[in-house]
Amino acid sequence: MKEYLKIDFKEEIPKYVQIAVHLKKLIETKVIEDGEKLPTIREYTEFLRVNKVTIVNAYKKLQNDGFAYQKVGSGTYAKRKENVSIFMKEYSKTFKKLMSENMEDAIDFAGETTGEVLFPIEDFKDIINRVLDRDGVEALISQNALGYEKLRGTINKAFWNNTLQDEDILIVSGAQQGIDIASKAMLNINDNVIVEKPTYGGALSVFRWRRANIFEVDMESDGVDLDKFEEILKKNKIRCFYTMSYFQNPTGISYSLEKKKKLIELAEKYDFYIIEDDYLSELIYDQSVEYTPFKWLDREERVIYIKSFSKIFLPGIRIGYMVMPTIFKESMQNSKFNTDIATSSLMQRALEMYIVENKWKENIALLNKEYQKRYKLMTGILDEKLSEYVTYNKPGGGLTFYLVLKESFVTSRELFLRLRKKGVYITPGVLFFRDMKDGDKTFRIGFSQTNEEKILKGLETIREELDLCHI
């Protein structure tokens, strides 16, 4: 047995985790080659002087993390993942530049937030001034870790018809913080989590940071594949399932009522929790899409509901909320307090007044009207001019489309780099998968940062680039 396979074990970390981490490093640094057979379970057990179950669990973890695969009757083999971090850095650098510089000619199909031109800034400025006149310095210095009390009450009344207790609502700094708080309250190292395939990259990052084992389930036209979902439940103790119930990021898929009910039943049967990220459900253009979140169906407190106002309000404000089940309430409150103590008091008070005075509903109506026009324009062009190269499902709402390349003449990462040279920006699908290879034939485009003129020009550029790639 080769010396580099040896490990000096530390007492505080499970041995199988240390073995998996060690082998990952060897695979990533090419000490163990891609496709090379790993030691047999018996050989490695004797070499490291551990029990057989430890090696079995280490190899399982390697497979779950995408660093190994098994051949029946032959053994376990190394699988080197492409270095996603290099591309991620390049992608991140691109959009930092896009946001920091005045690039008026850029066509940003990658943005996910409301364009500032659509926000009624004069109304909001008026409300800020009235809040300051009403509350004075209290609006600036007051802190409550759980959130401004009147805002929590207003959210309960306006969005939940007073069916919740105000103390069940926790104000957070956007959905990302809500996911982080939920994971800290619920997950320990090596707990098992199910996510949609593909899914929001920010959620994947949180679960990786918590060192959870991540299981992916393919998306169908109305939600996850329930048969594959239950197969995982039968074989593994699952702690939670992360889902975006409306206009899922990136696929744009919304869950059918039947699947929501079935998933609630499975949560009760197999004792797991559902983290529901309610993403852009205000922006519905197709009336066949009905609004019934998982939380409305929740009778046994199995759903942790998270809602951000950032996507449809002002991104810079960073306000959202979560509805906490009783069992996790104390740990989630503690997690919030340890994270940032309190969210901006002034912005919470302004948002509360904005909702109470129905400015919120007026703004949502404005957004729906404008975005529906862009949505229809984009679907028309996709159907007419890009159907030769891509397929997609019409989401019926939201701000994005998820496109699947029909042929393998170009990857979405290559397409991103080619389009970037021409001032057009897309989101490659690799960012939404645990194993980046799975997303190389998909990419997401959105219309929140593009007017009609830019949509026409940008989609024409994509068409031209695909033509060139196809030659």
Closest CA to 62 of 47, 78, 74: 78
**Is cis: bond before 395, omega within 30 of 0?**
no
The C-alpha atoms of residue 429 and residue 201 are separated, in whole angstroms, by: 10
Instruction: Quote the mean pLDDT of the chain.
Output: 89
HSE-CB at 10 with a 13 A cutoff on CA atoms is 6
| Confidence (pLDDT) at 86 | 66
| Confidence (pLDDT) at 59 | 92
| Confidence (pLDDT) at 82 | 57
Q: For residue 117, is pLDDT > 80?
A: no
Domain with CATH 3.90.1150.10 in the chain: 84-111+361-470
**What's the rounded mean pLDDT across residues 91-115?**
73
| Confidence (pLDDT) at 12 | 79
Domain with CATH 3.40.640.10 in the chain: 136-359
Q: Which tens digits make up the pLDDT trace of 193-242?
A: 999 999 998 999 999 999 899 999 999 999 999 999 999 999 999 999 99
| Confidence (pLDDT) at 63 | 86
**What's the rounded mean pLDDT across residues 109-137?**
82
In this structure, the number of other CB atoms found within 10 A of the CB of residue 471 comes to: 5
Q: Which tens digits make up the pLDDT trace of 45-97?
A: 999 999 999 999 999 989 887 788 888 788 999 987 655 556 777 777 776 77
- Do the beta carbons of residue 403 and residue 388 sit within 8 Å? no
The C-alpha atoms of residue 409 and residue 173 are separated, in whole angstroms, by: 42
Q: Which tens digits make up the pLDDT trace of 311-337?
A: 776 666 789 999 999 999 999 999 888
Domain with CATH 1.10.10.10 in the chain: 3-78
**What's the rounded mean pLDDT across residues 421-435?**
89
Q: How confident is the model at residue 342 (pLDDT cuts 50, 70, 90)?
A: low
| Confidence (pLDDT) at 115 | 60
Q: Give the contacts of 230 (CB within 8 A, at least 6 positions apart).
A: 266
Q: For residue 466, is pLDDT > 60?
A: yes
Q: Which CATH class is domain 136-359?
A: alpha beta
**What's the rounded mean pLDDT across residues 107-115?**
79
**What's the rounded mean pLDDT across residues 19-41?**
89
Phi, psi (degrees; rounded to nearest 5) at 80: -85, 120
Among residues of the chain, what percentage have pLDDT more than 90?
Answer: 64
Closest CA to 346 of 133, 160, 162: 133
Among residues of the chain, what percentage have pLDDT more than 70?
Answer: 93
| Confidence (pLDDT) at 113 | 67
The C-alpha atoms of residue 127 and residue 352 are separated, in whole angstroms, by: 10
Q: Is 65 helix (H, G, I), strand (E, B) or coil?
A: coil
| Confidence (pLDDT) at 214 | 93
Q: How confident is the model at residue 2 (pLDDT cuts 50, 70, 90)?
A: confident
The model's pTM? 0.81
Q: Count Cβ neighbours within 10 Å for each residue of 21-52 and write b for 16 or more, e otherwise.
A: bbbbebbeeeebeeeeebbebeebbeebebee
| Confidence (pLDDT) at 436 | 67
Q: How confident is the model at residue 246 (pLDDT cuts 50, 70, 90)?
A: very high
Q: Which tens digits make up the pLDDT trace of 368-393?
A: 999 999 999 999 999 999 999 999 99
Closest CA to 441 of 401, 402, 393: 402
As given in the structure block, the two tokens for residue 387 are 């159907």
Phi, psi (degrees; rounded to nearest 5) at 169: -100, 130
Q: Give the contacts of 33 (CB within 8 A, at least 6 positions apart).
A: 78, 80
CATH fold of the domain at 84-111+361-470? Aspartate Aminotransferase, domain 1 (3.90.1150)
| Confidence (pLDDT) at 316 | 65
Q: Count Cβ neighbours within 10 Å for each residue of 420-444 and write b for 16 or more, e otherwise.
A: beeebbbbbbbbbbbbbebbbbbbb
Give the max Cα distance, the chain: 75
Domain 3-78, second-level architecture:
Orthogonal Bundle (1.10)
Q: For residue 151, is pLDDT > 90?
A: yes
